[in-house]
């Protein structure tokens, strides 16, 4: 499984390549023949499809990571309930004191 940062960087790279190809298509549209434009259009459609698939994979990876983190947190709370209650109490006390000061 890739990390979230690796997935985000891969998505940025994929988007950058898509934008570069789109700009290439737009900048030289007048100078290109119909066959060349058709080739560029096909490349852009292919790139858009890969970008969509990458986004869906990234979404699935992120969902899996979130579910794993939630399961880990749930396990920790079940294994250490009193520590969690104490930590929540301390956080509540500190927040209460900060709010009273205002």
User: pLDDT for 22-68, tens place per residue?
Assistant: 777 777 666 666 677 777 778 778 888 888 887 888 788 888 888 99
**Spatial separation of the C-alpha atoms in residues 14 and 24, rounded to whole Å:** 15
pTM over 0.85: no
- The pLDDT assigned to 89 comes to 94
Task: Tell me which residue of 22, 13, 19 sits closest to 55, measured CA to CA.
Answer: 13
**Would you kindly state where each structural domain of the chain is located, as residue ranges?**
4-101
The three-state secondary structure class of 11 is helix
pLDDT attached to residue 93: 94
pLDDT at residue number 87? 93
């Amino acid at each position: 499984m890739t990390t979230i940062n690796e997935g985000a960087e891969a998505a940025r790279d994929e988007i950058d390549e898509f934008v570069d190809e789109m700009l290439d298509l737009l900048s030289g549209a007048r100078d290109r023949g119909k066959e060349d434009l058709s080739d560029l259009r096909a490349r852009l459609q292919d790139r858009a499809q890969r970008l969509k698939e990458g986004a869906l994979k990234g979404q699935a990876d992120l969902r899996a990571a979130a579910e794993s983190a939630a399961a880990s947190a749930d396990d920790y709370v079940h294994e250490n309930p009193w520590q969690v209650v104490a930590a929540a109490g301390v956080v509540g006390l500190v927040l209460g004191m900060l709010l009273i000061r205002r």
